[in-house]
Structure 1
């Protein structure tokens, strides 16, 4: 792919930047309001992102070919209250829109949680698509899963690709053979093991691999987390979409790393014993290289990786967009702005 310039909005710790750079992209502007995430970004990329994007004058942002933006997902996630555009964070999409309108990049690659696509019976997504189409972009939307792109993590995400040069074809994404959690495990500790008296493993007659996700739930830690309104046998399990007490098998895939899991309570069964995933293993589950510097407190590190994107999955979207001719280089910026 020919080199291109991009901006990295709601950048987090730089997952989308890595995916863009893997495809020949050069970052000319980045923005991240969270100070701890911005510090990690700076430690790895040598630049401090701009802070609050709502305060940035779009005309001061350098010309670019692509906008990358993992705009805040909390308003649309089933982990939150699903308030969508009623939540101030939900309106941040319109900062992407005003920049796109002013700078006319050839392509936008946006990411959000799976449930963004169905939020408010699809109305939220329809508003986003209509707004992009109104300023001249063709828009394609698909929910894709990191587990299909070389990562052993069941992580469905809504991907929006908007282009001035045609409509993105998700059918041309090249998927990878599925791998297991064992492929990202460190060989040397220190590891945090769990005393066998503190967990219960399910019998082989109960444990099954989920066909679609590849998950294999094998047990739970012996903690009575729920007291009221629970079915018999589920007292030890957290509420839906929260995994801090569940144990999964290393010979299968892993559930979604959650931004709200600030203690890194991800437990795996490997070689007959149960231990906690290390920070590095969590970063590998998102496709971050071992050269990536994990900075800040442990709490911040777990939140940051839970908030990030699956790097190989985004990289494949970028590769396919380039192959389909949807990313035009900077010598056409002025022409696009005049159009």
Structure 2
């Protein structure tokens, strides 16, 4: 089945681009960020609306509503105000539009921290709303590494349907949890230089999740340590590729905002390849896998996978790797020079790491100290990823 899509909170079009690659068509895009809107208007020849709150109705032909609704109030990197927060609470606008026009399908995307924050209240509010409207629903946390991209990006994909079983989309595939691909010094590793006390954001042969920016709105791309000891941050164009977009997909944003704003757009985007996987399964549903299940009971958080298709809410034991596409190593993936991690950033991370009690891979801190010494001796230089 080919779907007619209304894209709400469209960002730079990750969901819509991925679904288009699976054969579906978007007829409406709604986004209020000027920089993101500039990208959408350049990359899609589609009707555009600038504020979901003033959108009165969906196009009549809509069969699928998609929304990567704002995560700032749900993210560990944000204010964690929860589903009632001014930004993330906008998901209520999706429900308003669905109440007026019961589209056959709804697909939502957000951060997995929503499953923990306030004992999963955000997911409870969303699930309850769709249950009230008569929808069957399923959700699953999926890691974008499953689609071959070296970025550890875990996201919740929630699919609700009035007409079919959403499990035939989200639970028709299962590759099982995957082992780490090497270790420090044998492969490139990623970490967040803005951390060091409470967490490391460590990723082997991958980078940790690209973020929209710091709490102050400052771009903060993750750092990469190559096997030869090089320490740097990826080029913005490689960050776009790590999200599944072509190089310079976000360049139109520079017509209305600074270049640095593109990091926020990339960090807030939905993985194109994950959306394409969902889109292909929506076009051709599969058999539901044999997943262990159990009734949901009150807990401190919601599980990483669950469904309610009429028999009550069930927790599901499913991996975050529904498929295992050919994996691109991080070092081989990068095609642009790394920017050396600055002296200030390196020194700040080392200071936090030495005060904290985190356990690091052997030789990691020594590698950073060598990098810091080299920066102080020679000043910043660009380095080419091998």
TM-score norm. by structure 2 comes to 0.64
Paired with 2:152 and 2:160, the residues of 1 have a C-alpha distance of 25
Classify 1:47/1:5 alpha carbon distance in 2 versus 1 (closer, same or farther; 3 Å).
closer
1:311 alignment partner, one of 267, 272, 281 = 272
Classify 1:316/1:174 alpha carbon distance in 2 versus 1 (closer, same or farther; 3 Å).
farther
Deviation at 1:6, TM superposition (A): 0.4
Paired with 2:185 and 2:165, the residues of 1 have a C-alpha distance of 39
Deviation at 1:112, TM superposition (A): 0.4
Give the equivalent residue in structure 2 for 1:216: 189
Q: Following superposition of structure 1 onto structure 2, how do residues 123-138 of structure 1 map, counting pairs within 5 Å?
A: 123-138=121-136
Give the equivalent residue in structure 2 for 1:171: 171
1:146 alignment partner, one of 144, 147, 152 = 144
Paired with 2:47 and 2:41, the residues of 1 have a C-alpha distance of 5
Give the equivalent residue in structure 2 for 1:196: none
How many residues are aligned here?
Answer: 276
Does the 8 A contact of 1:132 with 1:138 survive in 2? yes
Classify 1:84/1:47 alpha carbon distance in 2 versus 1 (closer, same or farther; 3 Å).
same
Q: Following superposition of structure 1 onto structure 2, how do residues 83-232 of structure 1 map, counting pairs within 5 Å?
A: 83-169=81-167, 170-173=170-173, 207=184, 216=189
Classify 1:98/1:305 alpha carbon distance in 2 versus 1 (closer, same or farther; 3 Å).
same
Paired with 1:103 and 1:306, the residues of 2 have a C-alpha distance of 31
Consecutive unaligned residues in structure 1, runs of 5 or more: 182-203, 226-236, 326-339
Deviation at 1:240, TM superposition (A): 4.3
Does the 8 A contact of 2:211 with 2:220 survive in 1? no
Give the equivalent residue in structure 2 for 1:22: 21
Classify 1:279/1:302 alpha carbon distance in 2 versus 1 (closer, same or farther; 3 Å).
same
Give the equivalent residue in structure 2 for 1:269: 225
Residue 34 in structure 1 maps to residue 33 in structure 2: yes
Q: Deviations over 1:188-245 (max 9, x none)?
A: xxxxxxxxxxxxxxxx9x9489xxxx98358x97xxx8xxxxxxxxxxx4454686xx
Task: Say which SS state the counterpart of residue 104 (structure 1) adopts.
Answer: coil
Paired with 1:207 and 1:271, the residues of 2 have a C-alpha distance of 7
Deviation at 1:270, TM superposition (A): 3.5
Classify 1:259/1:280 alpha carbon distance in 2 versus 1 (closer, same or farther; 3 Å).
same
Paired with 1:73 and 1:292, the residues of 2 have a C-alpha distance of 22
Classify 1:109/1:47 alpha carbon distance in 2 versus 1 (closer, same or farther; 3 Å).
same
Classify 1:150/1:35 alpha carbon distance in 2 versus 1 (closer, same or farther; 3 Å).
same
